Structure 1
Amino acid sequence: MKALLLICHGSRTKAGTEKAREFAEQCMRHIDYPIKEVCFLELSKPDIAKGVESCVRQGATSICAIPILLLTAVHAKEDIPGELQIQQERFPHIEFSYGKPFGVHESISSLLWERITESTDAFKEKSLILLVGRGSSDPDVKRDLKAIAAHLEENYKIPPIETCFLTAAQPSFEEMLRLAGWGYEQVIIVPYLLFPGILLGGMKKAIAEQARETGQELILCEALGYHPVLQEVLLSRIDEAQRQRTVV
């Protein structure tokens, strides 16, 4: 019997955990697997081991594990595969396959455009868009966020886009926000985050301080959240994992 295991990152807050679980459960409603479970890499429960155990207890003979992560970094490349390898050794009779994070996908540009146009109905002559990722020491994160920004620029007539990061990568959000204070009337800030949370709170504080100092129009868009586009991307990642049989 086939099982689908969606692996979320986890959150230090109860609200963050619940938002992630709700996102995964909304997606799973449209996925035809007899067994479907949600688990977390860290900080929240159940962990991956408990998620696998639940699938096995329900009669799974194969488990397709998909990371609910926006970009490919150490969690997707090492941490989750390492834990799944441990579970493979615990349950050698189970066939495991492992999918990709959302990553770079053409469809995501339409979701970003929607978030931008929800927040403003007119660009000014001197406008800038900041696409803000969480950040990682993995260079693939910088490459992929730039590729996502490039898709957005190609598909829509918009102001120039710069990418930046909240943690562990350069340029930082604070640095790019300060630089944008020179010469731009309007700065549209697009958080490349699945859910609002502690990081978004820090962004709001920095934006409010700069708005007071410069008088610029600083517009903060909503986080991505659950959206049919991300559901579509998730379905494609599940299909890829099943077809390619990428084992742990």
Structure 2
Amino acid sequence: MQAILYVCHGSRVAKARAEATAFVERCKAKIDVPIQELCFIELAVPDIATGIDICVQKGATRIIVLPILLLSAGHAKHDIPEAIRQAARRHPHVDIVLGKPFGVHQTMIDIVADRIKEQTVPLDHESMVLLIGRGSSDPDTKRDMAAIARLLQENINVPRVDTCFLAAARPTLEDGLYEASRSSYQKIFVVPYLLFTGILMKTIEKKLRSLSSTNKQWILCDYLGYHPLLETIVKEKANRLLLVNEGV
């Protein structure tokens, strides 16, 4: 029997955990698999090991582990695979298959574009976009964010798209805001490339409040959140892995 285990990041913020849970419930309704469970990498329960154990207890013989993560970094490359390795030793008869994070995907570009279009301020030749990522020491994170920025610039025809990071990578948030403030663009659309609310969003909001006295117009867009289009990516990834088992 097949199962899907959705792996979300986790947060101490109750609203963030609730957002993740609600998103996974919507995904479950779109995928025809008898066993579907949610777990978290950190800061929330159940953890990955428990999530796998629950699937096995419900009769799963093949578990598709789907990371609900934006980019490939430490969690996707190390933490989740290690948890799976440990689970495989406990459940040697169970086939555990690891999917990939959302990554550089056209639908992700569409979601960012939606967040920008939601604003009452229109994009024009005086506008630029500043994408703010969570950050990681993994070089793939910077590479993927740069690719997303290029695709976004092409898709929405904005003159400039910069990237910066909240932690563990450069340019930092402070660097990104400084460069934007020095630019010739009057309107800076700030897009938090984050899945959920929490401390990082508060950090961005605080930094922007400190810039309110400058001659620029700073437009803070909503974080990506669990946008409905993300459900299509999850369904696409799940179905691809489910079809593998059927020999398609």
With structure 2 as the length reference, what TM-score do the two structures score? 0.94
Q: Deviations over 1:40-99 (max 9, x none)?
A: 111100011111111111111110001110000011011100001100110011111110
Counterparts of 1:168 and 1:222 in 2: how far apart (Å)?
23
Counterparts of 1:14 and 1:126 in 2: how far apart (Å)?
38
Q: What secondary structure, in the 3-state scheme, does the structure 1 residue paired with 2:189 have?
A: strand
Counterparts of 1:73 and 1:103 in 2: how far apart (Å)?
10
User: Who is 1:51 aligned against?
Assistant: 51
Counterparts of 1:124 and 1:147 in 2: how far apart (Å)?
22
What CA RMSD, in Å, does the superposition of the two structures yield over aligned residues?
1.4
Unaligned runs of 5+ in 1: none
Q: CA deviation at 1:242?
A: 3.7
User: Who is 2:14 aligned against?
Assistant: 14
Counterparts of 1:172 and 1:197 in 2: how far apart (Å)?
19
Unaligned runs of 5+ in 2: none
Percent same amino acid among aligned pairs?
A: 45
Point out the more displaced range, 225-234 or 188-197: 225-234
* 1:169 matches 2:150: no
Counterparts of 2:156 and 2:186 in 1: how far apart (Å)?
20
The amino acid that maps onto 1:176 is G
The amino acid that maps onto 1:236 is E
Q: What secondary structure, in the 3-state scheme, does the structure 1 residue paired with 2:30 have?
A: coil
Point out the more displaced range, 31-40 or 221-230: 221-230
Check the 8 A contact 1:97/1:242 in 2, yes or no: no
User: Who is 1:178 aligned against?
Assistant: 178
User: Who is 1:223 aligned against?
Assistant: 223
Check the 8 A contact 2:64/2:98 in 1, yes or no: yes
The amino acid that maps onto 1:92 is P
Counterparts of 2:96 and 2:240 in 1: how far apart (Å)?
14
Counterparts of 2:58 and 2:104 in 1: how far apart (Å)?
34
With structure 1 as the length reference, what TM-score do the two structures score? 0.94
How many aligned residue pairs are there?
244
Q: CA deviation at 1:121?
A: 4.0
Q: CA deviation at 1:145?
A: 0.9
Q: Deviations over 1:152-187 (max 9, x none)?
A: 122222231011111110001111101211233111
